Every structure is written in structure tokens, then in C-alpha cells.
Amino acid sequence: MSIRVAYQGERGAFSERAARRLAGDDIETVPCHSFEEMFESVGNDDADCCVAPIENSLAGSIHRNYDLLLESNLTIAGETNLRIVHNLIAPPDVELAQIRRVYSHPVALAQCTQFLRTNRTMAPEAVHDTAGAVRMVMDRGRNDEAAIASDESAGIYGARILARGIEDNAQNYTRFLLLKDPARALKVGDTGRWKTSLVFRVANKPGSLFRALGAFAIFEIDLSKIESRPVEGRPWEYAFYLDLVGRSDEAPISRALANLSEMAEMVKVLGTYPSRW
């Protein structure tokens, strides 16, 4: 039986491509309207796992998914970094000079500002999803509208690519996490490069964060990312998300986690998982 993988967006979304890279081509995809619905689909057993974008190399972190990850009981089973290539897509009989309005996700529009600035006759319009923008443009059937999305979405909805690679910066990558229920077995290939992610909270006292991070410095553990998020109901206090290079069962990391647990108010390991490019 195929694995059911939920993602935010519609058929042809970048998240769907990430899902296939992480879980294989023989999967059943479960499109969701929102990140909240995506997380809930795993908890409700409507999906076996989900794929969540967590950060973009240009736009930064996707904070809502950090918060949802902490609120849920899902664990990280894998990650991949997907090159994001944006394309201008329209109905088959529409020419570039006819376009007057362009639809896409707000982040995608922001990543194509140079193209839109050059083509000033095209007014950008934000919608909830890149692939959904292509579907909407095709459903409307107008000769003056286009969407910005993946090349796959053009094929799925029978549209035409008018301009390829219109993003401002070619170094445009999104990091996606494969999330699952801890009790569910899910095989992910060993890439040889492992990471461990965790979240912790320390007392709001001078030097507490310095001492907490010192637990990793002592054992020379490579911290690949640190992110802070506000603690709900505790103004100006923060939870800290860390990505470590290595497995949690390696002696240096397990000792560092033990040290951190002694001084932190809360420590939650979000997962130890293979990293795939």
C-alpha cells in the first residue's frame, strides 16, 4: 500500500516535489489548504506523514511551521533542500505581451520582483499557493492572466510556460522536513549525513542562554542553525530551536543533551534524521 503524504498546496506545488524526493515516487499525495490542516491530517490518520517547508535560503524561516512542530507530537524523519525555479505560466494560446495580472504565493511574487519590475504592465496578485494559481488561471481562461509556479504545474493543468527561471536569485532553495508520528515506522534512505533537531527553553536570567549553548561548545558539536520563537503567554521569553550535525545517539551529542537537560526548563528532541540534497 502506498504511503500517504500530506502537503500544503495543490497538485504541482513545490511541496509535492519535495514529498516525492523524500518518500519516493510511489506515494499517495494528500493536498491540504493550510499548514494547520496538513499537520491535522497526520494526527487524524488521513495521512501517514507530511512534508513541511521550514525555511527558504532567501526569505528565511517559515515561523508557523516551527510553532506547529512544537505543538504537535510529530517527529522529523528526514529533510531535503529543493532548488526553487519560478516560471511564468499561462493558458496555451496566451502570449507574454498580453499578460496584465500575475497570480502566485506572496513569497514567490517577492522572489520575482526584478522580472515584475521589468514587465511593469503585469500587476502581481497574491493567492494561497503557486500551483493553485495555475489552476485558477486555467479555470478562468482569460487571455491577460498568468501565474508563477513550478514547471510541473504547467504540465498538470495543461498550461504553457511563457518564461522560465524568472526568480531574482538562482541560489533559491527551500528546506523541507518529512514529519511522522513517532509510533509509525517509515523507511528513509541513509544519506550518510545526519542531523538532530531540538527545541529548549531556559529561565529568563542573565547568562542562561550562554550556559545552555556552552553544553554543545564543550563537546565541539556543530550547530547548523539556531532559531528563536516567542513563548505564548510569556512576553519577551523565547524557545530556541537548534539543528545539530550528527545523531542524537552519538556520545558527544547525547552527553551535551544530558547537560542541557540539567539547566533548561524544557528540552524536546524533534528528531534525528538523514539530510538529503
**What is the rounded CA–CA span in Å between residue 3 and residue 91?**
33
E strand segments, 40-151: 49-56, 60-61, 75-83, 87-90, 101-104, 123-126, 145-149
216 a catalytic residue: no
Residue with cell 491535522: 40
Is 174 one of the catalytic residues? yes
Task: Please name the residue that has the C-alpha cell 526568480.
Answer: 167
Pairwise CA distance, residues 65 & 54, whole Å:
6
Q: From the candidates 130, 174, 196, 272, give the one annotated as an active-site residue.
A: 174
Which of these is catalytic: 14, 35, 176, 200?
A: 176
Which three cell numbers mark 232?
Answer: 505564548
190 phi and psi, to 5 degrees? -75, 115
> How far apart, in whole angstroms, are the C-alpha atoms of residue 241 and residue 91?
43
Task: Count CB neighbours of 255 within 10 A.
Answer: 14
Active site residues: 174, 176
